[in-house]
Amino acid sequence: MASRDAEKWPTAEPGRSGRTLDPARAVTIGSTSVGATVYEGAQLLMAETDDGYDQRLQVLEEEAKKLGWTVSRTPLAPGLSVVEIASAPDEVSEPPDAWRLLQHARLANRGSLPGVALDHLMASPEANPVEISHPVEISHPVEISHPVEISHPAATYGTPGSGGRQPVAVVGGPPTRRESVPGRRPVVALLDTGVAWHPWLRGVVESDVRGVDGEQIGYPHTVSFAPGTKDTEETLDGTLAPLQGHGTFIAGIIRQVSPDADIVSWRIVPDRGPIKESDWIKALHQILALVRQGVEDAEQGRADGRGRGRLIDVLSLSMGYYHESNEDALFDEILRPLMEEFGRLGVMVVCSVGNDATDRPSYPAAFAPWTAESGAAVHHPDRCRTHKDVVPVVSVAANNPNLRTGALFSNVGCWVRVWAPGAAVVSTMPRRNGGLLPLARDDKYGVERECIDPDDFTGRFAVWSGTSFAAPHVGAQLAKALQEQFRVHGVDDRRAARVKRGWDVVTAVTGIAQVP
């Protein structure tokens, strides 16, 4: 997830015009209040789920012309388009700005423009809740009286030795995985940085699953699942990318908690820079189409592999963004229906809540059913309800290693439903050695001795912290409980059976129950 506030979020990848929406300077309609967020400056997202999209596009075209800009529509996924904004060729104008155009278009359309939204740059699941360049210099490489004193107590989680990403030795073997299981194996899907080769993950992870039309899902899966290959383009200074190994680490958590589960991995998180919401949503639409086809295959008796679909039981998402507005009239009509459709197909979606130590809702995690605490039922009654035909999103926060207290960096609030281990977690890593060096080194009696090299992961295991790692822990628990359902009741992958089974498992593992 992100750093302490939206203004400190990383800039977009080269070629993207990332903008930060500053509430103190943002143009608004009247006295409407907005919150900070980061967005793609030159394009908007537009839903096409009703007959009004032509009229909405016309409003955008007319208001863009007044500002000296032009707009063009490009289909992105079924029911969704990207509206690109450019400077008119014969006009002198300010650089195109999606937020400004959206506000002008909303005002022209009686104060609202449903189905049109910013293309957010989603907070990547960063390497640590707090980034540091190297373990803190101290007077002696071994003796210290206390974890290093720093300006904010939550920042200790970013220090190797206090929960930050660092190598660790694992002396036990991999969790036992049975050669066969009753019914079928539960399937956990990851949409993250991809998964690199690791001995614990051999034969467990599938990373080449394409859409129903044969199209690639997400970015090219440059993370090779073969020994000795590179999973990312190396930097010139030798340092590891901040997200390097993130997907591999998550896959290892699932492997430990639910050893018999299968894992499907797609790559949508860049090694550097944030996630473009439009790219992410397109991948989600492709995955949804796979699952929908898989359910149809099951209902038509094609569960023998002759269908084009792919059944997924759990979808783990370790990313999110803060919506600029929580007003019902302006709230997200693009992402919420997508999450609900996964639930209607019996997919249990688990989402990390974020590492910003805030109660501000982060999405998609905040699509989980809210509790009625702190007046939530008064202000957002619809968000406290559930529907028996839709398996709910599960929002997951991070616990400390004592499993009793929440991690200080973890987001909180009535929209946070489950807490799971997410601080100083041990899991799998790609075999990589970055450019940082040990603090001290010596060579006596023919023995090379040194302090721990902070980015030498050639041992293939690491400690890491973040709500990004709490979510897959719960996802794996759901998969393990589902496997018991298969053993006791058999496998029925028709839609109605999947939804009922999903609700039973979610309630048993998380305590989230149906609320009328």
Mean pLDDT confidence for 83-90: 93
Helices assigned H by DSSP within 300-356: 335-344
Q: For tokens 């359902």, name the residue.
A: 485
Q: Is the pLDDT of residue 497 over 60?
A: yes
DSSP structure string for 456-501: B-TTSEEEE-SHHHHHHHHHHHHHHHHHHHHHHH----SHHHHHHH
Q: Give the active site residues.
A: 192, 246, 468
SS3 state of residue 275: strand
More confident residue, 464 or 136: 464
DSSP bridge partners of 194? none
| CA 207 vs CA 103, 125, 190, 376: distances in Å | 41, 20, 10, 40
- Between vectors from CA 352 to CA 215 and to CA 515, what angle results, nearest 5°? 100
CATH number of 154-510: 3.40.50.200
The yes-or-no verdict on residue 3 having pLDDT over 50 is: no
| Percentage of residues in the chain having pLDDT higher than 70 | 82
How confident is the model at residue 79, as a pLDDT?
83
Listed by start position, the domains of the chain span 6-122, 154-510
Could you report the per-residue pLDDT of 261-288, keeping only the tens digit for each?
999 999 998 766 578 899 999 999 999 9
pLDDT, tens only, 416-447: 999 999 999 999 999 999 888 888 989 989 99
Four-CA torsion 292, 295, 296, 300, nearest 10 degrees? 170
> What integer pLDDT is reported at residue 2 of this predicted model?
34
Q: Please determine, for residue 154, whether its predicted confidence score (pLDDT) is greater than 60.
A: no
Q: What's residue 476's pLDDT?
A: 98
371-411 pLDDT per residue, tens: 876 666 555 667 888 999 999 999 999 999 999 999 999 99
pLDDT at 199 over 90: yes
* Topology of domain 6-122, CATH: Alpha-Beta Plaits (3.30.70)
